[in-house]
Structure 1
């Protein structure tokens, strides 16, 4: 138990140190880019909040593509500030492109935060689902009976042709033509063949 608490404490202390350093680097970059006073302090808060919102979306398991997109954007902003303050950037002569990025960050963060907060996961209403299940009729236990065949309309010309085919069959075989043979000779569906056979 003590070992577990010590491990949790170590992780928590490390997280606090990392957050404080990253927070300070973001503040320094914002300040160097012309954002003074309270505005310079608002930038690290904005980046960290976007990171948290994206991480929560990833943990929820819903809309992970959006979560990863905004997580990478916020992480790039945080990591970029950390690297920039490591001596790679002249804090007294910040380039114009960085000033543009810093000035445009609030709009980007607002867009990301809004999309992450308002693209709520689809929740199935269990009560509605139960009502729909209850509304479905129970299956009839009695065996289903085949419905009576619907009347098939047969053109008179086809009946006349079938009579010729039946007469030729009778002449050749000496027996009346049966329905399967009539169907095969005419190339028609079974219901139509039965309807024609009734006319012969």
Structure 2
């Protein structure tokens, strides 16, 4: 895309002023005995010193050296303009002007060196911004979370009915234990045993058992059992 060209009046004035000042400085240097390429080097030197001082003034407006060298370069440029306007006989230049023109390169070099190597201004300490109050977190409304209904438990699969266990076989009846018939008790022995049993009951208040009766009568176990059974 092509940009439209606009004429800037200030830029045009700067070009005209620069061209005329350049030409006047050249004419003054040539009249002071600087011929050839040396006459063209003088306006370049003056303009470079002027630009260097102006740039230093932009970065450090409190720098007095920059203002001084800017004034020196400006006086040199304006002096050449005034001198070549008919106030000075360029065919008979005074000696003091020849001395100034001859000494200008050294003066311009000194000014340019001082401007280029002067310390840069220290940056101003940045002011700490005021602490920003921490914003309180907005209250979050209580959220009621509804749980999804749990799926109904699946019914357990029905198991087939268990087969009835066969009834247990009735216990086998014990074989009859052959019993020996109780021996007969003589009547006299029975009467004697009854007396002993009555005396034992009177003394102890309890009936005499078969073991005690056996020990008192000195009979066999079977006979003692028969007598105890007969006394009950």
Same fold at TM > 0.5: yes
Please show how residues 22-33 of structure 1 align to structure 2 within 5 Å: 22-33=21-32
Contact 2:26 2:42 in 1 (8 A): yes
User: Displacement of 1:57 after TM fit?
Assistant: 0.7
Q: Is the 8 A contact 2:60 2:121 kept in 1?
A: no
Q: Determine helix, strand or coil for the equivalent of 1:46.
A: helix
Q: Does 1:72 align with 2:71?
A: yes
Q: CA RMSD in A?
A: 2.1
In 1, the alpha carbon distance for the partners of 2:11 and 2:63 equals 26
Match of 1:95 in 2: 94
Specify the SS of the correspondent of 1:120.
coil
Higher helix share: 1
SS of residue paired to 2:35 = coil
Number of residues of Structure 1 aligned to a counterpart in Structure 2: 122
Deviations along 1:65-105, one digit per CA (max 9) or x if unpaired, are 01100001000100000000000000000000000000000
CA distance in 2, matches of 1:122, 1:72: 21
Shift of 1:51: 0.3
Match of 2:48 in 1: 49
Q: Which runs of 5+ in 1 are unaligned?
A: 127-200
Q: Which runs of 4+ in 1 moved over 3 A?
A: 5-8
Task: Give me the TM-score of the superposition, normalised by structure 2.
Answer: 0.49
Q: Report the Cα distance in structure 1 between the residues aligned to 2:117 and 2:7, rounded to whole angstroms.
A: 33
Distance in 2 (CA, whole Å) between partners of 1:44 and 1:101 is: 14
TM-score, normalised via structure 1 length: 0.57
Q: Is the 8 A contact 1:51 1:75 kept in 2?
A: yes
Q: Within 2, Cα distance between the matches of 1:15 and 1:6?
A: 18
The separation in 1 between residues aligned to 2:112 and 2:121, in whole angstroms, is 19
State the partner residue of 1:139.
Answer: none
What is the CA deviation profile of residues 29-84 of structure 1, one whole-angstrom value per residue up to 9, with x for unaligned ones?
00000000100000000000000000011111255201100001000100000000
Match of 1:109 in 2: 108
Consecutive unaligned residues of structure 2, counting only runs of 5 or more, are 126-232
Question: Deviations 1:81-140 (Å, cap 9, x if unpaired)?
Answer: 00000000000000000000000000000000000001130456x9xxxxxxxxxxxxxx
